[in-house]
């Protein structure tokens, strides 16, 4: 299991490097694919996918494709229009196929699109910012850096349970260690990237703050995904990534903090 997980992790990192460095249509297409898979995983859990022609889930997938298409061609110009239009189509499916779907499935169909596709798209929006090729890595430093540091600190000195009923292994000490570790990683990255970003602001401090905030919120994203799994009594969202589970198992915290990093980078720099 260790070697399987390690090998999958290496492939994921390599794929992230290629797509994020490439940017543009490569990154947009990669995020679209990841979003569609993540939405599919959520739809299965929430019971939105069913036998026969998938009208409700199809509306969510179509809305996601249109959202990314317009985001690529016209960043943030028509995104709200697509979201509103998707909700209208989902409600139309609900009405004209009644009683095929329950109201909770309808809510889940729209929630899945916003939760996965819209939030994850902020990675692309960070990438197209000025100096975005450097700023976009803050998402992964905050998420994966915090996760690694929190695990190590929690294993060493973790005593006080953070959410004992939801995730008994996560500790307050681990959470603090994860945030501090993410901040230090951000500060180090700020020092290294400072020469490539034209600004008179203190990048070491700003990147440390961004990564610390992102790291803390990444834990909520991870726990939120875990809460859904516990509600529906499943171990993993999928089996796509050997040793890691599905897209939602690996990208739960990244999805959650991508919008936060985007707005912090937008207003602090």
* C-alpha span between 124 and 197 (Å, rounded): 19
pLDDT of 75 > 80? The answer is no
Domain range summary for the chain, segments of one domain joined by +: 18-128, 132-269
Q: What DSSP assignment string belongs to 131-189? A: THHHHTHHHHHHHHHHHHHHHHHHHHH--SEEETTTEEEEEHHHHHHHHHHHHHHHHHH
What is the average pLDDT value for the chain, to the nearest integer?
90
Tell me what the mean pLDDT of segment 154-183 comes to. Answer: 90
Are 105 and 46 within 8 A, CB to CB?
yes
- Which positions ≥6 away from 14 have C-beta within 8 Å? none
Of 52-61, 72-81, 102-111, the poorest mean pLDDT is in 72-81
* C-alpha span between 38 and 116 (Å, rounded): 7
Tokens of 247: 């897209």
* C-alpha span between 253 and 125 (Å, rounded): 17
pLDDT of 114 > 90? The answer is yes
Of 106-120, 130-144, 193-207, the poorest mean pLDDT is in 193-207
pLDDT of 195 > 90? The answer is no
Tell me what the mean pLDDT of segment 41-48 comes to. Answer: 93
Q: What is the pLDDT of residue 262?
A: 95
């Amino acid at each position: 299991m260790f070697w399987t997980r390690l090998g999958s992790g290496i492939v994921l990192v390599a794929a992230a490097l290629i797509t994020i460095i490439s940017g543009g249509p490569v990154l947009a297409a990669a995020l679209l694919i990841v979003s569609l898979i993540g939405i599919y995983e959520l739809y299965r859990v929430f019971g939105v996918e069913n036998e026969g022609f998938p009208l409700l889930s199809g509306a969510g997938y179509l809305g996601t494709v249109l959202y990314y298409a317009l985001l690529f061609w016209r960043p943030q110009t028509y995104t709200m229009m697509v979201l509103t239009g998707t909700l209208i189509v989902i409600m139309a499916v609900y009405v004209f196929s009644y009683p095929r779907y329950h109201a909770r499935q309808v809510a889940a169909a729209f929630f899945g699109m916003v939760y996965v596709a819209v939030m994850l798209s902020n990675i692309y929006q960070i990438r197209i910012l000025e100096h975005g090729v450097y700023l976009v890595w803050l998402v992964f430093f905050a998420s994966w850096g915090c996760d690694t540091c929190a695990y190590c600190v929690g294993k060493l000195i973790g005593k006080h349970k953070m959410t004992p009923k939801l995730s008994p292994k996560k500790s307050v000490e681990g959470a603090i260690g994860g945030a501090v570790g993410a901040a230090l990683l951000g500060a180090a990255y700020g020092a290294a990237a400072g020469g490539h970003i034209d600004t008179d602001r203190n990048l070491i401090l700003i990147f440390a703050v961004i990564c610390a905030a992102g790291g803390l919120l990444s834990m909520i994203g991870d726990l939120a995904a875990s809460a859904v799994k516990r509600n529906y009594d499943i171990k993993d969202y999928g089996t796509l990534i050997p040793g890691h589970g599905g897209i939602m198992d690996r990208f739960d915290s990244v999805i959650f903090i991508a919008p936060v990093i985007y707005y912090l980078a937008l207003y602090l720099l």
